[in-house]
Amino acid sequence: MMILISTPTSPFGRKVKMAARIFGLMDRIKVEKGDPWTEGDILRQTNPLGKMPALVLPNGKAVYDSGVILDYFDTLLDEPKLFPKARRLDVQVMHALAGGMMDAGVLIAYERLRRPTEFCYEPWIDHQLSKLQRGLASLVREAPDPRVADAGSISLACALGYFDWRKQIDWRKEYPALVDWLEHFRATYPAFDETKAEH
């Protein structure tokens, strides 16, 4: 049994859980809650960086970060599906874009939630927000197929779900084409709603 250390609020952890559900790996995984803010927590013991998520293999080896975990999942399948060989570079680029937007979204959330209000640095928030705006605008022009689950499309779905929850950007109003994209993905893959319950 593999142990996935994550938190219900992590979009990166949700990405891994969603992929595991879609590709039939969830019955081989036990999820344990970690806390990046607590000294001595299992997450810090597993990943020295204290970042979500981390996967502990049956032999005790720790695997992190989420992209590496997805790459490992591909080795458990009959053939690579998260980073399929024929589209590997395109999927890697989409995965990087969606992951970068999640990073920016997390930084905005931390700035607003963890830093005292009087010390919040709005130019920093604006800098991260501009990454979201450029990323989302590029996706309106060239989004992945919402009917095909891979590391890129799963990551994009998790990013949009995270923005719905933390409200870093009103993406539904500003980028309505991506609302349609997410609805198509959601209708195709029930794992999106299944993981939302843990989000």
3-state secondary structure the chain: CEEEEECCCCHHHHHHHHHHHHCCCHHHEEEEECCCCCCCCHHHHHCCCCCCCEEECCCCCEECCHHHHHHHHHHHCCCCCCCCHHHHHHHHHHHHHHHHHHHHHHHHHHHHHCCCHHHCCHHHHHHHHHHHHHHHHHHHHCCCCCCCCCHHHHHHHHHHHHHHHHCCCCHHHHCHHHHHHHHHHHHHCCHHHHHHCCC
- CATH code of the domain containing 135: 1.20.1050.10
- The parts of the chain modelled with pLDDT lower than 70 are 197-199
Q: Does residue 99 sit in the same domain as residue 149? A: yes
Task: Tell which of 76, 108, 126 closes a domain.
Answer: 76
Task: Tell which of 12, 45, 76 closes a domain.
Answer: 76
Q: In total, how many domains does the chain have? A: 2
Domain carrying residue 175: 85-196
Q: Does residue 72 sit in the same domain as residue 93? A: no
Q: Does residue 92 sit in the same domain as residue 18? A: no
Q: Does residue 142 sit in the same domain as residue 189? A: yes
**What confidence score (pLDDT) does residue 199 get?**
47
**What confidence score (pLDDT) does residue 183 get?**
98
Q: Does residue 30 sit in the same domain as residue 124? A: no
Q: Does residue 90 sit in the same domain as residue 187? A: yes
Task: Tell which of 42, 76, 110 closes a domain.
Answer: 76
